[in-house]
């Protein structure tokens, strides 16, 4: 498993422009989602991030944000470097606001991303990039649009432009009368791996209808009508090859049918193009009820196979026909199937392929036409039975949400037998498992890994015969899948009601993938048992079958690791997108409704090759990691409930214009209408208060966890310091033990000596400068210097001066002054009372003949108070100076 190096970098966080790729705050309809009368969105997959190299396309509401990650990273880092050295200009406006303006940055920097306007009427659910990366399928819950992307040269010029206006691209509406809101929802849109230049799009709707669209920008009709439409409900009940399994364009019948529950499609997928056998032309479908079906061969009218596909199929079909004809015990169904496959291959052999240039480079591609014999519509294989299914799992309770199929490896050994030149194949194509691996994902986050032991091959329904001999034929054998392993990726407390877990492929290995669920992101790797199982299937080992099966069953299973934990389960995560770029590194990108989620992995410099044929693979040794190293942790984003606008004003406006508007200007009275209004208002306020309380509690818990993490880091630093002391020999037992206090005192003594040396050098420099300038001091400077010397002598005199001097300490003088002040105040009060008694002619006045003018008394009191204030300030300054000296 890769080691996480860091999480979301600075160029993807606020206030960097990269954060605006994922920011949803500009959506004006955000607050309306919390209204009680708002329409609840239909649950579905959220694949809102698509990539083309270093470019990413992020769906935000009804818009698409388009940006180049390399450009965003470099521009932000350059801006941070430039901001520390280039001066800025502060501009103030008339309303009191201001902004910091950088002239150099404003003249050279670009925005780094563009906003693409789309013609969609609802929020975008999925973005699917075409194989040649020139088309982008944009899916809502019911509609499909295809965006024509500019090439990489034009993209660079558009993204480096300083224009911030919304960018307009060419959009085509796929099936304007087929994929509409009044019809069934679209659950999957897959680009056919064998389409010519990646222009064939397969759409699967919830009502089990598969449509093939062969798109051409030169022909608008290709976006209006599919070249092939198959109703799987009709096909499941079909008996003959020549029946009509199409879909009427005006069919709107939504009557009850038992198949509406058993044939409700949840997801569909194709294996990779480089898979072997019939895998690239097999469409796998997962039904919500837990059933799995396969449709093979499903081909567009014009298709471009890989160079080894048709020869390998031809060899396997000829071998199958020979084995069936020579075996007298073979069933009529097996013989009919072998003849049908031979007719299909004969139709291909009779064709002369058309050479077409690829759009990705100067590569020629051979284009074939879909064979018409034995038929264009294959047989629907399934539902598959699950062998070795866990006993505690009931298929009726499982609700599938996604399917991911890893095709079998391409076997070219029989194809190149006897040839002088060997076919060049990559390591990934030669290594792997010769079986299809089907991975199923349920609502609860449970992953079921199944193996296609029998192998899915091309099958068609039998032709309609004039005789009735086929009426008494035996029923065909049901296909099955071997359940290899079942494990959970989500804890029971993390399961959300409307969650939709999703699979995502990995860029490092075909046998690893990501699972995005309500609890976070989980990395799953099958490499621990895939190559070992392949060696057992090939029979390379000389040990007994029982010993090998027991060893394989008890060995380590699928490796899985939770690489990211999502704290807010209510905010759904976008499907993880793996990116590996020389300028960016290896990381996984996801997003919530407001913030990105990025996990950067530590990519090793030397890749370790996986051995295929070893029976017991050694466990990989991990490099030594320092325990004190910085441990990356996910970036904490406060809940959006703290920044969300309140829905109460909108509700009040709705109340003023609704059917209860007559209650607003009236006095409040007890009635059912008033109770209804208060009940609705209470629901609105309660929802908001609950969200705010949860957000504040989460923030509080995060702050407490931060303190704990800080304490752990301090402990690790102390442990590292002790280990360093042991390495450097500071704690060696050969020397006498030195206390920590002695070490600190020695450091302080060395610092004091250094300070004295610096002070002496400074005094020497001052004297030299004084002799050079020859400038006399002014009278004010001399008076100030005398005052400073007097203050120094009175405060910072030596112990001998303090012993010989009869002058008391400043604080003692302060206490004497306080006593004198109290005495003077008491005498002043007596004089004031005596004066008041003299004015009134009172015989009780103590000094009847003494009269002091009021002005003189006020001046004396002011002088006394001024002296006291001066002494108080002096004592406070002395105390502050003494404290600083003691601390120094």
Q: What is the DSSP string of 60-112?
A: ETTEEEEEEHHHHHHHHHHHHHHHTTS--EEEE-TTS-EEEE-HHHHHH----
In the predicted model, is pLDDT for residue 32 greater than 50? no
pLDDT at 36: 42
pLDDT at 230: 94
In the predicted model, is pLDDT for residue 622 greater than 50? no
pLDDT at 103: 44
pLDDT at 405: 95
User: In the beta sheet, which residues pair with residue 514?
Assistant: 504, 523
Residue 796: is the preceding peptide bond cis (ω within 30°)? no
Backbone angles phi, psi at 187, to 5 degrees: -100, -30
**Mean pLDDT confidence for 47-75:** 91
What residues contact 453, with CB distance under 8 A and at least 6 apart? Answer: 435, 480, 481, 482
Helices 527-538 and 545-554 cross at an angle (nearest 10°) of 170
Q: Tell me which of 229-238, 300-309, 398-407, 728-737 is least confident.
A: 728-737
Q: Which of 69, 60, 50 is nearest to 156 (CA)?
A: 69
pLDDT band of 305, cuts 50, 70, 90: very high
Over the stretch 523-576, which tens digit does the pLDDT of each residue have?
999 988 888 888 777 765 555 555 555 666 666 678 899 999 887 766 789 999
**For residues 196 and 111, what is the distance between their CA atoms, to the nearest angstrom?**
36
What residues contact 113, with CB distance under 8 A and at least 6 apart? Answer: 17, 18, 20, 21, 65, 66, 67, 68, 72, 159
Give percent of the chain above pLDDT 70: 77
Average pLDDT, the chain: 80
pLDDT at 144: 95
Other beta carbons within 10 angstroms of residue 684's beta carbon come to 19
In the predicted model, is pLDDT for residue 293 greater than 90? yes
Q: Tell me which of 139-148, 314-323, 837-846 is least confident.
A: 837-846
Spatial strand order in the sheet of 520-525:
502-505, 512-517, 520-525, 559-565
pLDDT at 382: 82
In the predicted model, is pLDDT for residue 142 greater than 60? yes
**For residues 189 and 213, what is the distance between their CA atoms, to the nearest angstrom?**
10
- Most trustworthy range by pLDDT among 712-721, 773-782, 805-814, 843-852: 712-721
**Mean pLDDT confidence for 77-99:** 60
**Mean pLDDT confidence for 258-280:** 85
pLDDT at 616: 40
Over the stretch 728-754, which tens digit does the pLDDT of each residue have?
656 655 556 666 677 778 888 999 999
**For residues 382 and 477, what is the distance between their CA atoms, to the nearest angstrom?**
10
**For residues 478 and 459, what is the distance between their CA atoms, to the nearest angstrom?**
13
Q: Tell me which of 301-310, 777-786, 797-806 is least confident.
A: 797-806
User: In the beta sheet, which residues pair with residue 147?
Assistant: 136, 171
- Maximum pairwise Cα distance, the chain: 154
Q: CA-CA distances (angstroms) from residue 45 to 162, 415, 873?
A: 34, 41, 74
In the predicted model, is pLDDT for residue 610 greater than 50? no
In the predicted model, is pLDDT for residue 430 greater than 90? no
**For residues 725 and 732, what is the distance between their CA atoms, to the nearest angstrom?**
9
**For residues 165 and 648, what is the distance between their CA atoms, to the nearest angstrom?**
33
pLDDT at 634: 75
Of the two residues 154 and 287, the one the predictor is more confident about is 287
DSSP annotation string for 592-627: -SSSEEEEEE---SSPPPPPSS-SSPPPPPPPP--T
pLDDT at 723: 79
Tokens 């029923």 sit on residue: 475
Q: Tell me which of 232-236, 301-305, 385-389 is least confident.
A: 385-389
Q: Which of 867, 833, 864, 866 is nearest to 850 (CA)?
A: 833
pLDDT at 689: 87
**Mean pLDDT confidence for 812-827:** 82
Q: Which of 145, 174, 177 is nearest to 64 (CA)?
A: 145
Q: Tell me which of 20-24, 54-58, 191-195 is least confident.
A: 20-24
pLDDT at 801: 59
Beta-strand ranges (E) seen in 380-531 are 380-381, 385-387, 400-406, 436-442, 446-452, 480-488, 502-505, 512-517, 520-525
**How does DSSP classify residue 481?**
E
pLDDT at 604: 58
**Mean pLDDT confidence for 689-696:** 86
**Mean pLDDT confidence for 687-706:** 86
Spatial strand order in the sheet of 400-406:
385-387, 480-488, 446-452, 436-442, 400-406
- Most trustworthy range by pLDDT among 616-620, 643-647, 666-670, 765-769: 765-769
**For residues 266 and 263, what is the distance between their CA atoms, to the nearest angstrom?**
9
Q: Which of 692, 643, 694, 680 is nearest to 35 (CA)?
A: 680
Q: Which of 400, 459, 437 is nearest to 263 (CA)?
A: 400
Query: Tokens standing for 220?
Result: 């608008």
Over the stretch 844-869, which tens digit does the pLDDT of each residue have?
444 455 567 778 888 888 888 888 88
Angle at 809 between CA 804 and CA 811, to 5 degrees: 175
- Most trustworthy range by pLDDT among 106-120, 347-361, 366-380: 366-380
pLDDT at 870: 86
Q: Tell me which of 100-114, 346-360, 382-396, 566-580 is least confident.
A: 100-114
């Amino acid at each position: 498993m890769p080691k996480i190096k860091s999480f979301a970098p600075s160029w993807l966080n606020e206030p960097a422009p990269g954060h605006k790729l994922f920011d949803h705050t500009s959506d004006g309809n955000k607050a309306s989602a919390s209204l009680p009368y708002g329409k609840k969105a239909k649950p579905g997959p959220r694949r809102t991030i698509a990539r083309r190299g270093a470019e990413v396309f992020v769906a935000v509401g009804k818009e698409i944000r388009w940006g180049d990650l390399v450009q965003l990273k470099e521009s932000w880092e350059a801006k941070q470097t430039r901001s520390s050295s280039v001066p800025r200009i502060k501009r103030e406006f008339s309303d009191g606001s201001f902004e910091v303006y950088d002239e150099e940055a404003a003249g050279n920097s670009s925005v780094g991303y563009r906003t693409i306007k789309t013609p969609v009427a609802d929020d975008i659910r999925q973005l699917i990039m075409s194989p040649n990366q020139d088309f982008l399928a944009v899916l809502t819950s019911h509609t499909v649009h295809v965006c024509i992307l500019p090439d990489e040269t034009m993209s660079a010029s558009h993204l480096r432009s300083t224009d911030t206006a919304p960018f307009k691209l060419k959009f085509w509406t796929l099936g304007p009368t087929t994929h509409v809101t009044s019809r069934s929802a679209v659950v999957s849109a897959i680009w056919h791996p064998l389409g010519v230049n990646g222009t064939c799009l397969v759409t699967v709707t919830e009502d089990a209808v598969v449509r093939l669209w062969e798109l051409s920008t030169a022909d608008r009709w290709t976006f209006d009508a599919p070249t092939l439409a198959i109703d799987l409900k009709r096909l499941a009940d079909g008996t003959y090859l020549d029946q009509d399994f199409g879909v009427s364009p005006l069919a709107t019948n939504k009557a009850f049918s038992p198949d509406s529950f058993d044939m409700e499609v949840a997801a569909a997928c194709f294996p990779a193009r480089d898979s072997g056998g019939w895998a690239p032309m097999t469409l796998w479908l997962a039904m919500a009820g837990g059933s799995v079906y396969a449709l093979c061969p499903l081909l567009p009218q014009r298709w471009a196979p890989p160079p080894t596909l048709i020869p390998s199929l031809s060899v396997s079909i000829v071998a199958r026909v020979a084995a069936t004809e020579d075996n007298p015990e073979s069933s009529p169904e097996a013989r009919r199937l072998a003849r049908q496959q031979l007719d299909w291959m004969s139709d291909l052999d009779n064709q002369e392929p058309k050479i077409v240039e690829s759009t990705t480079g100067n590569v020629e591609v051979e284009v074939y036409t879909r064979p018409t014999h034995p038929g264009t519509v294959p047989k629907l294989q399934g539902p598959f039975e699950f062998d070795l299914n866990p006993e505690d799992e009931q298929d009726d309770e499982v609700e599938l949400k996604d399917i991911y199929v890893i095709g079998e490896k391409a076997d070219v050994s029989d194809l190149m037998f006897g040839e002088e030149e060997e076919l060049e194949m990559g390591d990934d194509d030669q290594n792997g498992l010769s079986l299809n691996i089907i991975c199923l994902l349920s609502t609860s986050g449970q992953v079921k890994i199944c193996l296609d032991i029998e192998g899915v091959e091309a099958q068609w329904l039998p032709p309609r015969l004039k005789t009735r001999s086929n009426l008494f034929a035996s029923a065909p054998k049901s296909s099955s899948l071997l359940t290899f392993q079942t494990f959970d990726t989500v804890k029971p407390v993390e399961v959300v009601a409307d969650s939709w877990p999703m699979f995502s492929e990995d860029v490092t290995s075909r046998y690893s993938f990501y699972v995005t669920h309500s609890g976070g992101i989980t990395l799953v790797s099958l490499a621990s048992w895939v190559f070992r199982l392949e060696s057992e299937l090939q029979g390379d080992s000389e040990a007994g079958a029982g010993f090998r099966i027991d060893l394989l069953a008890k060995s380590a299973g699928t490796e899985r690791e939770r690489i990211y934990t999502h704290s807010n389960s209510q905010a759904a995560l976008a499907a993880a997108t793996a990116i590996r770029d020389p300028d960016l590194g290896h990381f996984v990108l996801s997003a919530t409704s407001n913030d990105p989620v990025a996990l950067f992995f530590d990519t090793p410099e030397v890749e370790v090759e996986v051995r295929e044929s070893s029976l017991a693979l050694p466990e990989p040794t991990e490099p030594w990691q320092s325990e004190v190293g910085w441990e990356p942790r996910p970036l904490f984003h406060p809940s959006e409930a703290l920044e969300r606008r309140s829905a109460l004003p909108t509700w009040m406006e709705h109340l003023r214009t609704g059917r209860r508007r007559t209650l607003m200007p009236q006095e409040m009275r007890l009635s059912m209408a008033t109770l209804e209004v208060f009940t609705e208002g209470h629901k609105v306020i309660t929802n908001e208060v609950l969200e705010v309380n949860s957000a504040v509690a989460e923030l509080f818990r995060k702050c407490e966890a931060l303190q704990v993490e800080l304490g752990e880091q301090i402990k690790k630093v102390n442990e590292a310091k002790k280990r360093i002391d042991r390495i450097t020999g500071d704690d060696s037992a050969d020397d006498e033990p030195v206390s920590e206090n002695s070490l600190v005192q020695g450091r302080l003594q060395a610092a004091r000596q250094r300070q004295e040396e610096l002070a002496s050098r400074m005094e020497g420099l001052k004297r030299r400068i004084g002799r050079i300038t020859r400038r006399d001091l002014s009278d004010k400077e001399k008076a100030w210097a005398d005052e400073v010397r007097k203050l120094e002598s009175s405060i910072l005199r030596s112990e001998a001066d303090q012993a010989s001097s009869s002058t008391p300490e400043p604080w003692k003088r302060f206490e004497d002054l306080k006593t004198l002040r109290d005495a003077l105040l008491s005498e002043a009060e007596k004089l004031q009372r005596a004066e008041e008694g003299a004015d009134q002619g009172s015989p009780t006045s103590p000094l009847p003949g003494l009269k002091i003018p009021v002005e003189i008394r006020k001046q004396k009191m002011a002088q006394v108070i001024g002296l006291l204030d001066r002494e108080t300030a002096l004592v406070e300054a002395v105390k502050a100076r003494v404290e600083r000296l003691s601390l120094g």
